[in-house]
Amino acid sequence: MDDLRDIFKKNSAELQRAAGDLTEFHRQVLAVVELLRRTFAGNHRVFVAGNGGSATQAQHLSDELVGRFRTNRRPYPVIALTADSAVLTCIGNDFGFEKIFSRQLEALGAAGDVFVGLSTSGESPNILEACSVARQQGMKIVALTGPQGKLSGLADLAIIAPTEISTRMQELHLHAIHLLCEAFENDAMQ
């Protein structure tokens, strides 16, 4: 049990360090809020994607904005590209795993829409490929990532978790998702 307590303390200390000064992180989240407000006001959609834990976070963002976070309010058009197993396996089988999100954006995305890509490494080939297609489609690109990798350089806006530890990044990405939801809940209350 003492070993587990030490592990817990170490992980919690890492999170506290990463969350120590989130001033820049909050500025990045606010910039994304403003982009999404304009996107929704223009009757455009948001597409989100990630792999593994980032896939579940992409779906969480979609769920909270289409459904509800804390209060009943209008739903927002957010589509998780990770949710349709038949489409994912069809594209993966026929075109390759790196095309599972980009092919969907080719079919569904349009100028004025937004693609949100989550990748802790900033190097996920299928997310980078989706960014390329999103750009060709005239979409804006938002990255949720860490301080390394190519993803933030491909994005119009990036929310960068201030840590190189992937588990802490995911925790801060979840925090960013909840902050985004709080912003739209607050809008509904006004």
Mean pLDDT by 10 residues, the chain (190 residues): 87 88 96 98 98 97 95 94 97 98 98 98 98 98 97 98 95 97 83
Does residue 18 belong to any structural domain of this protein? no
Residue whose C-alpha is closest to residue 129's, from 147, 108, 103: 103
Does residue 39 belong to any structural domain of this protein? yes
Cβ contacts of residue 73 below 8 Å, gap of 6+?
Answer: 184, 185, 187, 188
From CA 74, how far away is CA 82, in angstroms rounded?
A: 23
Query: pTM score, two decimals?
Result: 0.95
Does residue 113 belong to any structural domain of this protein? yes
State residue 30's pLDDT score.
98
Does residue 15 belong to any structural domain of this protein? no
State residue 186's pLDDT score.
82
Own/partner contacts of 64-71, CB < 8 Å, gap of 24 or more, are 64/177, 64/178, 64/181, 65/180, 65/181, 65/184, 69/178, 69/181, 69/182, 69/184, 69/185, 70/181, 70/185, 71/185, 71/188, 71/189
State residue 13's pLDDT score.
87
* CATH number where 58 lies: 3.40.50.10490
Domain around 160:
23-189
State residue 190's pLDDT score.
66
Does residue 8 belong to any structural domain of this protein? no
Identify the H or E element spanning 116: strand 114-119
Does residue 4 belong to any structural domain of this protein? no
Beta bridge partners of 144: 118, 159
Does residue 3 belong to any structural domain of this protein? no
Does residue 169 belong to any structural domain of this protein? yes
Number of domains in the chain: 1
